[in-house]
Chains A and B, each alone.
Chain A
Amino acid sequence: MKHILVVSTAALIAGLAGTAAAEDGALKDRTIGFVLTHKSFALWQSPDGKTECPDGVNVGPREQFKALYPNGGKFAETQLARDGEIMFPDTTPEPKLFFHEPVSKVGIGLNLDGKVDDNDFVSEDGKETGIDNQMYRVVGCTDNYRGPEGQARHFIQDYMRKFNYNRWLIEVTDVDDLTNDPDVTVSLYRGLDALTQDAAGNFTSGGTQRIDAKWGKEFMYKTKGKIEGGVLTTAPVDITFPVSQSRGYPYNAVKDWRVRLSLTSDGADGLMAGYLDLERWHHNLWQLWSSHHRSYGGEPVPSQYRSLRRNADAYPDSVTGENTHISAAWAVKFAQAFILHPDPKVAEKSDDGVTSAGKSRAAQD
């Protein structure tokens, strides 16, 4: 908070002087941008894991296969059959298998529906109730997603550093004050550039990100928000966002998406949440995570699918009445970044519009 106040004062001085401090300020032209540097499912974990997962964590496909077929069998009746169940899962019972879901009432996330239901979670300090994060029940006892070294967490971060196609930007405009502003606009984009790293290799603020105006149109969204006490919250909006390691759909779809982020001039830190399209998420999962990843991370996909369907809590199908979406929350971190918009006039004229427009915009800056 102290830091935020200092920034605010500096910005005020800059505004009055119109000179010096403006140069190094992150908030320019009532706009501040951020680029995603960390994303993982928001899971509450006790120190030893026994509180939320008293029966331990889940096992992977190898253990399940051994439980199903202890004496082996014909290929088509064992291995091929199991592969089919992975690719075309259903919700029938699995008497020989188990799947652990967190039993804790404590959870991390946001109250998406404004209600306090029996299956909702409570924050660790007890101050927040009605937290909707049923995805916690699906992945909370699976090593792939648990911190600090779950396989999925590792690869999401690794790909964040290595590749650009999962670059995700949030731009906050109409900002009068980074600490308190009742009416700001929040825009989402896919970025094109590598994350900026400091001398020690850590992600840092101050880099520039060009908007992917050519192939990233499906990731452009706009919503309203407000800043209170340095915390940005946004109005719900249906979005898709780019994800790493996806060979099927290179994105996830979330309804009623919103954020709660603590803002500084260097970055943003907090939660994003919404209702995740469970079929799309699951499709990405079984397409991408080969058996060895599922094995190392103890992720039994067919059982997990049943958990997904069992815990889905929103957007019922008009025909079957079954919920198609599941409440979820992600812990996210962003680094401040300057977002470079393409010049529409240039972009219209050239396939290379993004770069040309970027130069044009930079010259204007």
Chain B
Amino acid sequence: MHLSGRRDGTLFLSSIVRNALVGLAAAGVVSCSSPSPQATAVTAKVSEPVTAGSPKRLRILTEAQYLNTIAYVFGPDIRPVATFPPAQRTDGLIALGTSRGGVTTQQLELYQKAALTVSQMALDPQHRAFLMPCKPASDAAADRACAAAFLKEKGRLLNRRPLTESELNAFVDEAAKSADGLKDFYAGLSIALEAMLVSPNVLFVTETSEADPGAPGRQRLDSYSLATRLSLFLWNAVPDDGLLKAAESGELHTEKGLARQVDRMLASVRLETGMRAFFDDMFGFDDFNALSKDATVYPKFTGQAMADAREETIRTVIDHLVTQKKDYRDLYTTRATFISPALAVIYGLTTPPSWTRYEFPAGSPRAGILTHISFLAVHSHPGRSSATLRGKALRELLLCQPVPRPPANVDFSAVENPKPGMRTARDRVTFHLENPVCAGCHKITDPMGLALENFDGSGRYRETERGSPIDASGSLDGRAFTNVAGLGQALHDHPALTSCLVKRAYSYGTGGPTEPSDRPLLSYLDTRFADDSYRLAGLLRAIALSHSFSQVSAPAADAARAN
């Protein structure tokens, strides 16, 4: 009986998915409709420049966004095993890859498995007691009114807008048919919920626009699309009831109303979840998922140390930027961090058996998140450090300066089988700078990476390599330093450090890469960021309240972007 009902449900949701996917494919990944841009006024010290706005996008929810959403809608104990495939990193962020590519049948199967788990758990006897807004007339038969009440409430949150009458009726019909067939109200409702969870309207974020009455000729995101864009940006989850109410009432499309909602979101505990996702993405920490170290070379770099290294840096970032609201640049010089027992073994520190706030003493080589085990270990080889990988990561992740890939026929023998006299990494990479073919790229990576050579491939401090003292001097874009503390300070003072965060945050928020035409806006945001002493909340607020965030670009502007 159960199987027949499940089969019905599966067919139902499959047809929804198929129909919707056809429709989405026809719409294309990015669609736009808007007249020419228009100047806008802001009340800040500097005015937001005229921009083309940002394109409407079609994105698929990431695994984290899906899980956050499920937790917020049904409760944190409803957590399916959801191993959704990651998107392709685009312009420095995985989040930007969610608007590219398609969905395979295997991927759809993963969504369906997760949906099955969620729908069954949410309506099991334990959870239905508080998740159901009503009690059916009979547990063994359909009850359309009660099913509709549940599906309407949860459907609004999952779809990020109220369900249309026809949509709701379709789900209620399925719940009723399955309940009667299975002689079980909750089993029938579960099938309808499962169908909803795999519907494209839930899994995909489809931004839609409307005419902007405040800017004749312009298009803006409609209120529900704006609510979802804000929520994914700041919370890495779908909107809550309050944000949807603001969208429903039109509050979001008023200047004060939008500011009120953004401030509420910035004050919410969900901001930490959102910023964890953003910085994990910006720092390329998905590399941890494929990280491995040679246990004979780095025996203390355990699996727990690997997981904790990622957490250490994210904890530090959240504490510094979100909790204490400090200057973003100071992340690269701060001695404050958090350590766990597994990390303490590598750091050589005493620690109780839990996460502990810790401050490296003055004069310690550990200063700034560049000297965290995370950055040092991820950007190293399995058995040795890498000045080049570290320098490259610093350029690309923190300064938004892409480093070209090495030529296909590069000769690695000098570093992999060094001559006996080449005792330190500096000895081994020197030939890069002597070889014109290599020097072009290596001169922009190695001088900074070598400043981190006092840390081996597992992030452990060392003063010598193969018995030779390590020279950790270097330079960053003309600023010379003698050790890693100097590198941290040079990075702290580098103008690209803050502009890179601005660029990443804006593109993360709007869901796509920035373009040359965005430069005036980014420059404006840079100024706002500086005026606010480089505090993250101020930057997020400036982006969220900018007209470019909510206004959508015209097809012509998109064509220009494409060119």
Q: Which residues of A pack against B, CB within 8 Å?
A: 10, 13, 17-26, 28, 193, 196-200, 202, 204-208, 210, 338-340, 355, 358-359, 361-363, 365
Contact = CB atoms under 8 A, between A and B. Distances in A.
B364 A19 contact: yes
Nearest to B356: A362
16 contacts: A21-B463, A23-B360, A23-B364, A24-B347, A24-B461, A193-B341, A197-B302, A204-B299, A204-B345, A206-B346, A208-B341, A208-B349, A208-B351, A339-B350, A362-B351, A362-B358
B162 interface: no
Contact of A19 (B300, B354, B363, B462): B363
A199 B295 contact: yes
Interface string B384-414: 0000000000000000000000000000000
Interface string B366-377: 100000000000
Contact of A362 (B298, B352, B365, B454): B352
Contacts of A23: 347-349, 360, 364-366, 461
Nearest to A358: B352
Contacts of B454: 20
A7 to B, nearest CB: 12
B303 interface: yes
Given A198-B299, A359-B352, A365-B350, 10 more contacts: A196-B345, A197-B302, A199-B299, A202-B299, A204-B300, A206-B345, A208-B341, A210-B353, A362-B350, A365-B349
Contacts of A204: 299-300, 345
Given A20-B365, A23-B366, A198 B353 contact: no
A213 to B, nearest CB: 13
Nearest to A206: B345
Contacts of B354: 355, 359
B20 interface: no
A24 B348 contact: yes
A26 B348 CA distance: 7
A207 B353 CA distance: 10
B344 interface: yes
A199 B302 contact: yes
Nearest to A19: B363
Nearest to A192: B353
Contacts of A193: 341, 353
B357 to A, nearest CB: 7
B460 interface: yes
B293 interface: yes
B427 to A, nearest CB: 21
Interface of B: 293, 295-296, 298-303, 341, 344-354, 356-358, 360, 363-366, 454, 460-463
Nearest to A360: B352
Nearest to B472: A20
A355 B463 CA distance: 34
A22 to B, nearest CB: 8
Nearest to A199: B295
Nearest to A194: B353
A20 B463 contact: yes
Nearest to A200: B295
B13 to A, nearest CB: 44
A161 B295 CA distance: 20
Given A199-B299, A204-B299, A18 B344 contact: no
Contact of B303 (A25, A199, A205): A199
A23 B555 CA distance: 58
B365 A198 contact: no
Contact of B356 (A17, A18, A205, A359): A359
A193 B461 CA distance: 25
Contacts of A358: 352
User: Secondary structure at chain A's binding surface: helix, strand, loop or mixed?
Assistant: mixed
Max chain A Cβ within 10 angstroms of own Cβ: one of B300, B352, B460, B463: B352
Contacts of B348: 23-26, 206
Contact of A338 (B302, B350, B363, B364): B350
Contacts of B461: 20-21, 23-24
A116 to B, nearest CB: 44
Contacts of B360: 23
A165 to B, nearest CB: 16
Contact of A199 (B298, B344, B356): B298
B463 A208 contact: no
A198 B302 contact: yes
B344 A206 contact: yes
Contacts of B341: 193, 196, 207-208
Contacts of A18: 363
A338 B348 CA distance: 9
Max chain A Cβ within 10 angstroms of own Cβ: one of B301, B303, B351, B454: B351
A361 B360 CA distance: 14
A355 B300 contact: no
Contacts of A21: 461, 463
Contacts of A20: 363-365, 454, 461, 463
A203 to B, nearest CB: 11
Nearest to B303: A199
A358 to B, nearest CB: 4
B299 A200 contact: yes
A83 B344 CA distance: 51
Contact of B344 (A22, A208, A361): A208
Contacts of A25: 348
A22 B366 CA distance: 12
B61 to A, nearest CB: 35
Contacts of B463: 10, 13, 20-21
A198 B300 contact: yes
Given A19-B363, A24-B460, A340 B347 contact: no
Contact of A198 (B295, B347, B351, B352): B295
Max chain B Cβ within 10 angstroms of own Cβ: one of A18, A202, A204, A208: A208
Contacts of B357: 363
Contacts of A199: 293, 295, 298-303
B301 A338 contact: no
Contacts of B296: 200
Nearest to B484: A20
A196 B351 CA distance: 13
A210 B356 CA distance: 14
Nearest to B342: A196
A47 B150 CA distance: 77
A339 B344 CA distance: 13
Nearest to A24: B348
Contacts of B349: 23, 208, 338, 362, 365
A163 to B, nearest CB: 15
Given A198-B295, A199-B302, A207-B345, A340 B356 contact: no
A1 to B, nearest CB: 17
B347 A208 contact: no
Contacts of B363: 17-20
B295 to A, nearest CB: 4
A22 B295 CA distance: 25
A197 B341 CA distance: 11
Contacts of A205: 345
A358 B349 CA distance: 13
B247 to A, nearest CB: 45
Contacts of A339: 350
